[in-house]
Copies of this chain bind each other. A is one copy, B any other.
């Protein structure tokens, strides 16, 4: 298992050279000042913590897994201690509001922290991560009383949180859920029902767990219009925030999963559990959507994480493993064979992983900047522009990056040959861990319907035009830059096709609504490649500038340009297939009857 090494140079490249984090932070209101010194302090400390404390838990947690008993769930050795250190270091509060004890840093700094922690041990990173959903739900929709009672300990990390949505018969389609909430008095309710797939539903890492639960009031309308939101603590909480007795919530069992074994997934039983209504009755589902963008971005990051882990594992192996001679003549003539990194097909896989990992970082950090701007930009117009970008980019970021994160993990195994299939190298764990990412927080199919249905067609193309104009402006700005033409010309062409495809899907959908679903995932992937091409073109341009102005780290900048070139020549052509399959329409999908399958 390779030890994780925080890719600080690549991270700084995106923060400083590409996206200008320091300049970006000056555009924000009401956020703690985050100058270069603060950024450096945070990411270097986070890197050390990730490498030294979290990374060693990764293989151990996979092998030990979580253990259920009637008394509770025991997390893998070291998980709890690491979490205590994490809280002592103040990490849980990094991007939390100062009014509840947080440090008030922007989301984009939290994303860097999340990348580092999650790359070190995806399973462990879920515990502090899930808590953020509970905090945001309470922050955005809870009464002051609920906030006072629950937020300080959630913000400090002393308590963790969950989101209890799924039931055995419904996941994406939450309108079907059956858990009931019966009013007792005031804002107090008794909840009864069974939730499944509850991440971090029960564990030994924190003294209390705050569940956010979707349930139905007795008089609720059917379907998704009758869902309300409740906060249900594991241990009851007194008015002074001290802990009271045990609530009627229990973990019935835990799931045996393909991967992320250290990240517990629970069946949670609510047997007349005490809960408190959050927000308005029957408006629970809408409330959930308010922080969906940040939750999806966190999940999207896993695409980056699994590509980065594959890359960190595969590069040294490819540099050291000796097999065969280069077809163009021995590169290691004194050894028994050449290192496999000389072979073009090994390079093809390595460069695929590299262009994903580094491209995803640019994409995800950019989206994180839009999260910052959507809340803290100084003008309403800027906030609105960021919200529009977020609306369009978030489903692509989640669906596209996680699908290709799985592909990267697959290549990571492949580069190792048979050794990739064996536990000790960590590559098979990476592939198993990656597999969840296209499923939870909305499957790829759900992201794709959100993108083409709600965002692109729902805005009559406005959201798409908005972002494609940013791309066109960039291409325009490089018109006099001859070396950039190899990137901007295909980028311009692909972006034009992207708009045309959206229009043609809209036209087909007017005739047959099935055309939306038929085009959805391929359109999401087309969108992803287009957006990634934009970021790779920008990275190439920045790198050319740096080389021209005599910057240090020349290998880094050369490597960015080479990787951009690889992306444009070897990966962007995937849009050629996607264009054809989108244009082929729904007929070939819908012709066969359910019984003929």
Contacts and interface: CB of A to CB of B under 8 A. Distances in A.
Given A328-B513, A345-B445, A569-B588, A439 B420 contact: yes
A432 interface: yes
Nearest to A345: B445
A220 to B, nearest CB: 15
A280 interface: no
Interface string A129-164: 000000000000000000000000000000000000
A454 interface: no
15 contacts: A173-B322, A176-B337, A257-B423, A318-B597, A319-B597, A339-B594, A343-B445, A345-B521, A351-B589, A414-B438, A421-B435, A421-B439, A555-B595, A563-B592, A570-B581
Contact of A439 (B414, B449, B517, B566): B414
Interface string A313-333: 001001100111011100000
Contact of A258 (B343, B414, B428, B514): B428
Contacts of A84: none
B337 A173 contact: yes
A22 interface: no
A592 B344 CA distance: 11
Interface residues of A, number: 98
Nearest to A591: B562
Contacts of A573: 576-577, 580-581, 584
Contact of A589 (B348, B520, B591): B348
A413 interface: yes
A258 B421 contact: yes
Interface in A539-597: 555, 558-559, 562-563, 565-566, 569-570, 573-577, 580-581, 584, 586-597
A418 B517 contact: no
A429 to B, nearest CB: 8
A448 interface: yes
A28 to B, nearest CB: 35
A390 interface: no
